[in-house]
Amino acid sequence: MRRLFVLSALAACGGDGAEGPVGAISAHVTHYDYRFDIESRAAHATVTARVDTEGDCLTLPFRANDFDPATAKIDGKKAVSGTIEPTTMTLCGDGHAAGETITIDADMTIPLETVATSQVGYSITNDAEGNPFYYLVSWVGGCDKFGPCDSRPDQFATYTFHVTHPETLMVSCPGTITETSAIETLCDFDLPGGPTYSTFGVAAYPRAAWPSADKGMWGSVHVTVYDRPGTHITAAIDPAYHAGFVGWMESTFGPYPFGTELRVLTAPTYWSGFEHPGNIVLDDGLAKVVQPAYLHNVQHILDHEIAHMWAGDQTTIADTYDFVWKESMAEYLSFSFEAMMDPPAANKTAAAWKNFAAAAAYFPVPGEHPALFAYYGDVYGAGPMVLFRQLEVLTSRAKVIEALQSVLGRAHAISVDEVIEALQAKTGLDLSAYSAAWIHGSGKPVWPTINTTFTAGAGTSTLAVHQTLAQDRRCKFHVLLGGANPGEVVQVEVDTFRNGIDQEIQLPTPAFAVTVTQLDPFSECLVFPGTLARPIERAHPWRTARGAAADHAAAR
Ligand SMILES: [Zn+2]
C-alpha cells in the first residue's frame, strides 16, 4: 500500500513550494539520533545524512509502524510532501546540493516482531527466573525495522540512543552510557563509526539481573561483565586468558577500535553471542551446555565475539552474501589463539568446524542468494575451513594472519573476494580454481570423499589415495596409520592441491602391522571417509538450546 500526502498544490515530489535542486537525492547517513520507550515502543528518529547527489527528495528504507508523513520534518521544517511504501519512506523539501547535510525527523512505533523465532527485530524474552529481557537487534539489513535507516551492510555511522524505561531496568547499548535520570539512559556512540547490523542495537534487563564484575584491563580495554547470579558464566571467564587474547589482537591488528570500555552482558538469547561494538551480549546458558561443540564454550564464544570488534564491526561486510568472512575470521582468530595457549581446545574447534560443515545445505557464498536467515548457520564450519584452515595447512598460519593484517585494522567494508585476493597475495597460492570449487556454488555442497588403501611391502609400502566426489575440491591433509599398541603411529601427508586426487604414496614400511587407518586426524580439510559411522545432521552452531527449542516448537 502506498500512502501519500501533498501539502503543495502541484507536486508529489520536488519543485513546488521548495527551493533549490529537484529530484531524488542520493545520500549517506552519518548519524542516527534515536529515541524510544522500552514499554510503549514509541520512537522518534532524527537522521542526519550527507548529500552525494543533489535533489529535494530523500528516500530511506523504512519498515516501522504508525508513521504519518504529514508530521515528518526536513531540516527542522515540515516536509513539503511525503510518501510511504511497504519498505521505504520518501520525504521532499527544499533542494540540497551535493556535500550539504540533510536532517529528517520522523515518529513511529517499533513493531514487536522478529525474523522467525530469532531475536532479530524487537523482542521481550523471559529468562529462567522470569526476568524480562528487552532486545532490539538489527542484524544485516534490519535497522529499517526501527525507523528510517540506510540498511546497506557497508555503511558506517555514529549513533545516539535515548531510551526511556521503567526504573527497575538497566539499559545497555554501544557507546558511552549515561543514566540521565532513573528512567532515561543515553548511549552515545561517536568514534569511529559502526555498521548498522551490530551498532543499531539496544538491550535492557532488570538491574538485579545484571550485577557487574570488574574484570580489569584486557590489553588497552577495561572490561566489565554483567551476569545474573547462577549462570556460572562470570566464573568461566578467565581474565588472564582473555587479556592475552585482546593483547594479541591489538598487537596483530591494531588498537581495540571502540574506545576504552568493553561490556560483556549475559541474557536469554537466541544466539550464543552478538558483537554489538563494545557491548557484547552472551547467551546466559553458555556455561551449562551439555557436550558443547567447543572444549571451553564460554572462552571460545567470548573470544569469537571479541574478534568481531575488528572483524565485522571495524572492518565490515560489503554485502549480505559476504557474511561468511566475518564469522570465519572470528572463528579462526579465536582458534589461532587457542592453538598458542590451549592446543586441545584448538583441536576440538577444528573438529567442530568439520562437523558443522558436513551437512551444510549451502556453499559459503551461496549462488542462489537465499535469505540470510536460511543459510547463515552453514557458514560457521565450512567458512573457517575453506577460507583459512585449509590454506594455512597448504602454506602457513603466519601467511594467513599476514593476509588478515592486510585487510583488518581500519574502518572499511570488504567482500569475500577481497579476502581471497589478500590470501592469494600473502600465501602465493593461485586461488582462482580453489575459490570457484570451495567457496562459490549453488545447491547443497558435496565435500570430497577419500578412500585409502594401505599395502605393506618388504622395505617400501604404498598408501593409495582415491578421491571419489567433488574432484575439483583440492587441499592437504594427513592419513594416520596405526598399529595395535600405543605409540605405533605413522603420519602420511597427502596433498591433492598440488599432486592430484589419485595418488600412490610410497613410504618406508612401518615397524608394526598397520591395523588402523584414520583420515584427516588433525581436521585440516573438509574431506570425509567413504563410509561414515553415522550420518551427520545439519548443525546450527550459533543457535542456543533456547533457540533450538523455539524453532522446534514453531515447526510443530
Ligand atoms: Zn559471529
CA of 553 to the centre of ligand 1 (A): 25
pLDDT for 17 = 55
Percent of the chain with pLDDT over 90: 92
pLDDT tens track for 270-306: 999 999 999 999 999 999 999 999 999 999 999 999 9
Between the CA of residue 210 and those of 69, 95, 125, 169, 171, what are the distances in Å?
39, 48, 15, 9, 10
CA of 218 to the centre of ligand 1 (A): 20
CA of 323 to the centre of ligand 1 (A): 10
CA of 495 to the centre of ligand 1 (A): 31
CA of 353 to the centre of ligand 1 (A): 14
pLDDT tens track for 464-508: 999 998 889 999 999 999 999 999 999 999 999 999 999 999 999
Q: Per-residue pLDDT for 6 more than 60? A: no
Span 115-143, mean pLDDT?
97
Confidence label for 555 from pLDDT (cuts 50, 70 and 90):
confident
pLDDT for 107 = 98
pLDDT for 9 = 34
Predicted TM-score (pTM) of this structure: 0.96
Confidence label for 530 from pLDDT (cuts 50, 70 and 90):
confident
Q: Per-residue pLDDT for 122 more than 50? A: yes
pLDDT for 227 = 98
pLDDT for 14 = 45
CA of 451 to the centre of ligand 1 (A): 34
Across the chain, what does the average pLDDT equal?
Answer: 95
pLDDT tens track for 7-62: 433 344 444 556 789 999 999 999 999 999 999 999 999 999 999 999 999 999 99
pLDDT for 15 = 46
pLDDT tens track for 253-265: 999 999 999 999 9
pLDDT tens track for 358-410: 999 999 999 999 999 999 999 999 999 999 999 999 999 999 999 999 999 99
CA of 330 to the centre of ligand 1 (A): 6
CB contact set of 481 (below 8 Å; sequence gap of 6+): 454, 463, 489, 490, 491, 492, 510, 514, 516, 517
CA of 244 to the centre of ligand 1 (A): 20
Rounded-to-integer distance, Cα 71 and Cα 106, Å? 7
pLDDT for 2 = 46
Evaluate the omega torsion of the peptide bond into residue 86 and state whether it is cis, within 30 degrees of 0: no
CA of 113 to the centre of ligand 1 (A): 23
Percent of the chain with pLDDT over 70: 96
pLDDT for 379 = 98
pLDDT for 18 = 65
CA of 325 to the centre of ligand 1 (A): 10
pLDDT for 539 = 83
592475552: which residue's cell? Answer: 244
pLDDT for 519 = 97
CA of 550 to the centre of ligand 1 (A): 20
CA of 305 to the centre of ligand 1 (A): 6
CA of 180 to the centre of ligand 1 (A): 32
Residue 321, C-alpha cell as written in the block: 552474501
pLDDT for 222 = 98
Span 409-417, mean pLDDT?
98
Specify whether the CB–CB gap between 437 and 445 falls below 8 A: no
Instruction: Give per-residue burial for 441-468: e unless 16+ CB within 10 Å, then b.
Output: beeebebbbbebebeeeeeebebebebe
Q: Which helix (H) or strand (E) holds 362?
A: none
Rounded-to-integer distance, Cα 126 and Cα 129, Å? 7
Rounded-to-integer distance, Cα 510 and Cα 273, Å? 47
pLDDT for 192 = 76
Q: Which amino acid is at 153?
A: P
